[in-house]
């Protein structure tokens, strides 16, 4: 028919059984300006899920792609990465072990997807192994913390970042591992993650405006802190189980419980489990994510700040009792 537009060729793929060259050829079609082709190709890539990420990232690093491809591929990569992290965090919240290192890895990747998960885990494992080689069952709690501090701060060179503007670089756990310098929260979270890997009875403490750690009596480990809640039905006051506090930002300095009580008194706050008792690992992760959102905002990156708030909302939703029961 005169004046009719030439029909575009149809594309048919079995995206789930593609070879790498076929996957690359499919992704190259994101360059096609036709919206229909884009929607079909985008749908196939979404079906592939995480398997498509390496090829997409490699394509974005190549030169010669136009702005249409870069915009479309970039959006798909961001969406797949976000879906992956959200799924991982959902599983983490529902896992009774609540391994803090896993959560810090996923939060880091969400904040900076280009960072290396393998490098972060390998670096933390080296620190953990060095501490493990120096500790034994004969050490007292204070002696054990002194060994931990020596390896963590002196041997591996971790330190607190003091002064200056709030910067995400000192709040993203993986970047703190690389630079060996972080704010009190990120540094404390990494210290806590390694302590957990060593099965030490150390927990986070949601002290207002400060993040410190609590070394607890061995019997306290059985209380449901690591599982995400403090069970008030279990005999014993969680605060009374705290032998002493640790301030990772001050090279692991030991704080007597009386000092913490005095600090709270100056703020007109009660000495209670919520203020100075051991807190669930989920609370630590919430606090890390929340501060990262604030740090991105302070840097002027509102889009990244909003992304972190989306992740925080997801974690909080997964942490609600209704969600936990529905998942059973």
DSSP 73-87: HHHHHHHHHHHHHHH
CB 166, CB 292: distance < 8 Å:
no
319: left (phi over 0), alpha (psi -120 to 50) or beta: alpha
Per-residue pLDDT, 63:
78
Between the alpha carbon of residue 211 and those of residues 41, 98, 156, the distances in Å are 47, 19, 21
Look at residue 265 in the predicted model and tell me its pLDDT.
83
Q: Please tell me the distance from the alpha carbon of residue 312 to that of residue 316, in angstroms, as a whole number.
A: 6
Report the length, in residues, of the chain: 328
Residues 6+ apart with CB under 8 A from 133: none
**Which option is the CATH number for 15-93: 1.10.8, 1.25.10, 1.10.3470, 3.40.50?**
1.25.10
Where do the structural domains in the chain lie, given as residue ranges? 15-93, 97-327
Q: How many CB atoms lie within 10 A of CB 18?
A: 18
Reading the chain (328 residues) residue by residue, the pLDDT tens digits are 334 344 444 444 444 556 778 888 888 888 888 888 888 888 888 888 878 888 888 888 887 788 888 888 888 888 888 888 999 999 999 998 899 999 999 999 999 888 888 999 999 999 999 999 999 989 999 999 999 999 999 999 999 998 777 899 999 999 999 999 999 999 999 999 999 999 999 999 988 888 999 999 865 444 444 434 443 333 345 566 889 999 999 999 999 988 888 888 887 777 777 778 889 999 999 999 999 999 999 999 999 999 999 999 999 999 876 444 444 3
**pLDDT for 102:** 97
Assigned token pair, 186: 């990120």
**pLDDT score of 283:** 94
What is the structure's pLDDT at 220? 46
Question: What is the C-alpha separation between 93 and 286, in angstroms, rounded?
Answer: 11
Structure tokens at 69: 């491809």
């Amino acid at each position: 028919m005169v004046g009719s537009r030439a029909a575009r060729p149809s594309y048919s793929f079995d995206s789930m059984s593609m070879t790498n060259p076929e996957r690359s050829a499919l992704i190259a079609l994101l360059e096609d300006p036709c919206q229909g082709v884009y929607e079909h190709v985008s749908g196939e890539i979404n079906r592939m899920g995480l398997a498509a990420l390496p090829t997409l990232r490699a394509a974005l690093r190549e030169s010669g792609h136009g702005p249409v491809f870069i915009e479309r591929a970039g959006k798909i990569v961001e969406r797949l990465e976000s879906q992956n992290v959200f799924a991982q965090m959902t599983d983490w919240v529902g896992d009774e072990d609540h391994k803090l290192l896993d959560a810090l890895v996923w939060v880091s990747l969400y904040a900076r997807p280009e960072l290396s998960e393998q490098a972060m885990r390998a670096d933390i494992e080296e620190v953990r192994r060095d501490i493990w080689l120096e500790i034994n069952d004969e050490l007292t709690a204070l002696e054990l913390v002194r060994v931990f501090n020596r390896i963590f701060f002196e041997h591996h060179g971790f330190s607190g970042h003091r002064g200056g503007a709030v910067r995400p670089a000192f709040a993203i756990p993986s970047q703190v591992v690389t630079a060996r310098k972080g704010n009190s929260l990120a540094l404390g979270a990494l210290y806590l993650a390694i302590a957990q890997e060593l099965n030490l009875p150390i927990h986070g403490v949601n002290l207002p405006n400060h993040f410190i750690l609590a070394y607890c009596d061995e019997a306290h480990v059985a209380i449901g802190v690591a599982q995400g809640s403090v069970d008030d039905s279990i005999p014993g006051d969680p605060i009374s189980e705290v032998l002493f506090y640790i301030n990772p930002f001050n090279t692991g300095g030991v704080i007597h419980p009386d000092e913490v009580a005095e600090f709270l008194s100056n703020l007109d706050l009660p000495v209670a489990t919520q203020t100075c008792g051991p807190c669930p690992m989920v609370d630590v992760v919430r606090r890390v994510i929340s501060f990262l959102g604030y740090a991105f905002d302070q840097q002027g990156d509102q889009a990244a700040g909003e992304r972190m708030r989306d992740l925080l909302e997801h974690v909080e939703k997964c942490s609600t009792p209704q969600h936990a029961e529905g998942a059973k």
